[in-house]
Amino acid sequence: MLRADALQAIYPELEDRIVVTIMGAVAVELYMLGHRHNFFYLEHAMGLASSMGLGIALSIPEQKVIVLDGDGSLLMNLGTLSTMARYRPGNLLHIVFDNESLLSVGGFPTATGTGTDLAGIARASGVPQVIEANTCESLKDAVTRALASNTLTTIVSKVEAVGPKSFHMDLPLLENRFQFKRCLEKMRQK
């Protein structure tokens, strides 16, 4: 499965939700599908998209928060799984695209390519619902199920180590930051 196709398949579910992505290919591919003010692309601080998502989910319990993570990023902050599991906000959905590679820095293999099982780590960390979905159809179904269940969910999706031709996004970091904050303030009032 290509991550770009996977994102396209779940885009209708993302469109009106609070979404936090990691840097690199995930950010660009979501941006290219159509930027929304409720999307935040964390262009650095690898590993912390899920921690940001947790902070937002705890602050706005009435809204669903979706984090788009990656294997390289999650491996940098495995403790996030135990922290999310500890507080298990039902409005948080954590999707991990696992391409077994640090793609944007040259495709160096990560430990998931040599046997590290992120879904297994999430389960063992206490995440109450962990789903592995390796096709667009199963991913779409898993996202729908997770959002309906009001249960903290980690979905791990194996994807090919293929990214966009260009990583350029016509959106300065701070513009994204202030847009996103204003948007969240409105969603919080609803």
Partner 1 sequence: MPVSVTSSRLIYDALKACDVRIISALPETWLVHLIRMADEDPEMTLVRIAKEEEAIGISAGAHLAGVNSALLMQNHGFLAAINPIVSLALLYKIPLLMLISYRGHMGEKDPWQTQGGMVTEPVLRALNIPIWHLNNPGDIDRRLKDAQTLAHASLHPVAVLLSRELMWED
Q: Which residues bind partner 1 (CB under 8 A)?
A: 20, 40, 42-45, 47-60, 77, 79-80, 82-83, 86-87, 173-174, 177, 180-181, 184-185, 188
Q: For residues 24 and 47, which CB has a smaller minimum distance to partner 1 in the complex?
A: 47
- The least CB distance from residue 160 to partner 1, in Å, is 28
Tokens found for residue 109:
């293999």
* The residue type at 132: E
- The least CB distance from residue 62 to partner 1, in Å, is 11
What residue has token string 């660009």? Answer: 28
Residue 20 is inside which H or E element, if any? strand 18-21
- The least CB distance from residue 87 to partner 1, in Å, is 6
Q: For residues 43 and 141, which CB has a smaller minimum distance to partner 1 in the complex?
A: 43
Q: For residues 49 and 143, which CB has a smaller minimum distance to partner 1 in the complex?
A: 49
- The least CB distance from residue 43 to partner 1, in Å, is 8
Beta strands in 49-183 (DSSP E): 65-70, 92-98, 101-102, 108-109, 129-132, 153-158
* The residue type at 86: R
Distance CA 118, CA 140 (A): 19
Q: For residues 137 and 175, which CB has a smaller minimum distance to partner 1 in the complex?
A: 175
Q: For residues 38 and 110, which CB has a smaller minimum distance to partner 1 in the complex?
A: 38
Helix/strand/coil (H/E/C) assignment for every residue in 31-78: HHHHCCCCEEECCCCCCCHHHHHHHHHHHCCCCCEEEEEEHHHHHCCC
- The least CB distance from residue 185 to partner 1, in Å, is 5
Q: For residues 148 and 174, which CB has a smaller minimum distance to partner 1 in the complex?
A: 174
- The least CB distance from residue 34 to partner 1, in Å, is 21
Report CA-CA distances (Å) from 13 to 6, 29, 107, 144, 187: 12, 15, 29, 8, 16
